[in-house]
Amino acid sequence: MNDRRIRSLAIVGGGTAGWMAAAALSKSLAGMGIELRLIESAQVDPIGVGEATIPPIMDFIRQLGIDESELVRDIKATYKLGVGYRDWTRAGHFYFHPFGPAGPGIGNVPFQAYWLKMLLEGRAERLEEYSIQTVAALRGRFARPVHAPNTPLNKLTYALHFDAGRFARYLRGYAESRGVRRTEGHVRHVSVRGSDGFVDSVMLETGESIRADLFIDCSGFRGLLIEGALHTGYQDWSQWLPCDRAMIVHSERSAPPNPYTLVTARDAGWQWQIPLQHRDGNGYIYSDEFSTDEAARALLLGSLDGRALGEPVALRFRPGRRKAAWSRNVVALGLAAGFLEPLEATSIHLIQRGIAMLLKFFPDRDFAAADIDRYNRMLESEFGRVRDFLLMHYSQTERAGGFWQHCRDIPLTESLREKIELFRSHGRILREETELFPVLSWLSVMVGQNIIPRRYDPLVDGLDPRKVQSRLEELRSSVRDCVEAMPSHWDFIRSGDSPAKTRCAPPTAARQPSM
């Protein structure tokens, strides 16, 4: 039998995407005898796809065997329990999108179903009151999960804010220590084989030609291999996602960092504030139809909490994705595969998913069409679900003004329309098995943006309403007690990993008594 194994793999481009791929592949492919090489140019300033993440990043870190406390110290990270939305639904309004679950179900009735019934009847508090992530975030508290069965402390869910450049450098050290060879250089030419259209090699400005069996394109928006050489094509999603500009600047921290990302709606888009240990990250995402770059720059600089640490950097982008992220022997990751926008911090996650799926369908030199087609369908589905979640934020708003009226007029995708209508009818949220955002995410954003069901799930009528209300009160009390046992977020970071004192009593709600 002919040996058709992949023997060489070249990653074109560094930054977050390139070094995430190098780190993951150097670990997962260890022992297979594959030469791993990463080509990047110091002359190209990589675009940090974001400094905020979502909980799956913790799985990536753990799978690499990285010590979390060491990483947090090295890359100046802070912890993230969710996202706070200020003035988004309407001026003066605030809601919180937390990570993790809220409360336990009762038999076959999920938490959101019985909470919604009580809310519609005026007998439940705001959703935030039942989420330990929300209460902790808004009080500036943090702790990692501890073994405290039947308490909210047992299922604390979190992500990280970090300096994207430091994260990439950390992963570079990890990858190089596992045999990845870095080559400094700028790609001048890509050679494509005439026989089958596969990429054969890339030539650097130095004249060096680098061949590989498999190429990973991490070259950013331009997609040097996936688009420049293979002409894969791009799906423009501007019809659903209205923003196409970004203005980014770092600023001095003016207060201890909060364990959440703050998102504030503006007249032509929205602004983020991401707190790190040594500075804040700030950005304004907007539509060029409703704001000039000069106006965006002035707004951003005029709304910082601390002194700007440089001049704002302006970026242009087209929201969308490659028609095929894997074509022939090239797999695109990061901005080369597509970019939606930073809202809900999904960019790094989509890199992570692309890497995970590549390992799931890792090829030999025959590059089976069935594997490539399946990979592309799965990634298209991932991008589409994220698009729908982002579109819901924009389209379901009460804000006044030309930009926000434009957002309300955006036609919904059929998948999002179904999602919203199912919720409006009886508060039902159906989630596909591999869908990124959990039920609580959809619930938090829909209720936060004033999408309220007309009726509740009829199954809740089988529960004793007095016991349901008692359960909600016990859960709310347990959340408050557990948060009180946590250290402040800043104290936790400075101490390394100070645990929460487990003095919060387990709510009887968690024991799910018969009703």
Quote the CATH superfamily of domain 8-51+163-235+322-383. Answer: FAD/NAD(P)-binding domain (3.50.50.60)
Residue 48 has what pLDDT?
Answer: 55
First-residue to last-residue Cα distance in the chain: 64
Residue 408 has what pLDDT?
Answer: 97
**pLDDT tens-place string over residues 316-330:** 999 999 999 999 999
3-state DSSP assignment of residue 65: coil
CA dihedral 13, 342, 60, 336 (to 10 degrees): -30
Residue 505 has what pLDDT?
Answer: 57
**pLDDT tens-place string over residues 357-395:** 999 999 999 999 999 999 999 999 999 999 999 999 999
Residue 148 has what pLDDT?
Answer: 77
Helix (H) or strand (E) holding 117: helix 111-120
Say how far apart CA 137 and CA 430 lie, in whole Å.
Answer: 27
CA-to-CA dists, residue 451 to 85, 423, 469, 513, angstroms: 15, 8, 23, 31
DSSP label of 509? G
Scored b (16 or more CB within 10 A) or e, 129-154 reads bbbbbbbbbbbbbbbbebebebbbbb
Structure tokens at 87: 């003035």
Residue 43 has what pLDDT?
Answer: 73
Residue 515 has what pLDDT?
Answer: 27
Residues 6+ apart with CB under 8 A from 417: none
Q: What is the mean pLDDT of each run of 10 residues along the chain (515 residues)?
A: 91 97 98 97 66 96 97 97 98 97 91 97 96 97 87 90 95 98 97 97 97 98 97 98 97 96 98 97 97 98 97 96 98 97 96 98 98 97 97 97 97 97 96 87 98 96 96 96 96 77 52 31
Residue with tokens 């501007």: 238
Residue 201 has what pLDDT?
Answer: 98
Cα 447–chain centre separation: 21
Residue 510 has what pLDDT?
Answer: 38
Say how far apart CA 475 and CA 485 lie, in whole Å.
Answer: 15
**CA proximity to 419, closest of 460, 453, 448:** 453
The structural domains of the chain, with segments of one domain joined by +, span 8-51+163-235+322-383, 78-162+412-495, 247-316
Catalytic positions, written as ranges: 80
Structure tokens at 487: 């250290």
Say how far apart CA 128 and CA 398 lie, in whole Å.
Answer: 21
Say how far apart CA 217 and CA 228 lie, in whole Å.
Answer: 11
Residues 6+ apart with CB under 8 A from 455: 120, 425, 426, 427
Say how far apart CA 75 and CA 80 lie, in whole Å.
Answer: 15
Residue with tokens 């059929």: 414
Residue 497 has what pLDDT?
Answer: 62
Say how far apart CA 228 and CA 409 lie, in whole Å.
Answer: 35
CA-to-CA dists, residue 45 to 15, 99, 305, 345, angstroms: 9, 32, 27, 21
pTM of the model: 0.95
Residue with tokens 């001095």: 252
